[in-house]
Amino acid sequence: MPFQLRDEAGASRSVAYLLMGAGPFMLVTGVILPEKRTIGGVLTFVTLTFLLCGAGALCRWRPEKVPSVFWLIAPFFGIGMVTVLNLATRDASTGAQLFYLWPVLYAANFLSRVVNYLTVALVSAGNAAVVFPLLGANRGVSDWASLTVAMLLTTVVVWSLRGRNERLREVLETQAYADPLTGVANRRSFDGELARAVEKSHRTGEPVALMTLDIDYFKKINDSWGHGIGDQALQVVANALREVAAGRDDVVGRLGGDEFVMLMRTDRLGARRAADDLRTVVTETGGSLPCGPPGLSIGIAVLPDHAGTAVELGAASDAALYEAKEGGRGRTAMAHPPSPRHNVDQLPSPSVTGA
């Protein structure tokens, strides 16, 4: 999006510090330093000082009270404020023009590339409106060109650093939430996805299926062929799960060891079909392994058929997996519906016999 805001909390603090710093600065430059003062001028600058400090305090400690659009127009407000103050004080010095650095840095840190270009263009225009009338054409051209180039280079550098920081953050997030061997979600990430899927299912009424599986005799594969082949078997299963997880919201995870899970927005029939497809893909892609295609034991549970919460769904799927193993491995087992809960008040009273 061309005007998308990034990090509203950081943007609100940046605006707050600008306003709370601009207030005292305006008091010093407009009231204390000038040799000649007028009552009207003093009142104006004092009023503006309190307004800026109050607005800064609001942005810092009550940002939710500020309309969101303000964070998008903040750099333009800053440009206008700097330009008006420089014209009002007839100050075209380098120090005064450096205040344009704030809107440039703000836009480069929190706003899109389109807004960055617009900010630099408006800074250049604002600077031209100050230096040309006050310094004249010859000297004004030099100051205007220097400041424009400096602000443009600042934008490019900060934007590049921001992009590098975002890429690094994406890498760190991937490392934090993905299993390093297979690339699927780790337990921490999957638990969060499961909780969100169950919550959504309660709102919409759509079923959610949880498939829990592990590789049959995985320890034997490691002992017979080495851990390298065992890792390849894990990768074959993970890739097959990713291929079968065709739904937009389907999630594949590795809980640890040779245990995998797949979260699907489907019913019992769809989950059973996915289990059959998974075995087919593993057989086709795992034939090149020295140990042959790894066998799978699979347990399936569906919400709301077998559980009502994320914890219950995980327990039901685990129980189905245990049943598949007990039945001879290489099987798919569906969880059983939970036993009905009886109200104690509705239970029949025990018969009382006489002595």
Calpha distance 15→4 (Å, rounded) = 17
345 catalytic per annotation = no
HSE-CB for 250 with a 13 A CA cutoff: 20
Calpha distance 203→199 (Å, rounded) = 7
Q: Where are the alpha helices (DSSP H) in the chain?
A: 8-27, 39-61, 68-89, 94-97, 101-110, 113-135, 137-177, 187-204, 218-225, 227-244, 268-285, 310-326
Among 258, 267, 276, 305, the one annotated catalytic:
258
Dihedrals φ, ψ of 256, to 5°?
140, 150
DSSP string, 329-341: SS-EEEPPPPPPP
Calpha distance 134→123 (Å, rounded) = 17
Give the containing element (helix H, strand E) for 213: strand 208-215
Dihedrals φ, ψ of 179, to 5°?
-70, 125
Dihedrals φ, ψ of 258, to 5°?
-110, 20
State the DSSP code for 350. Answer: P
Q: Which residues are catalytic?
A: 258
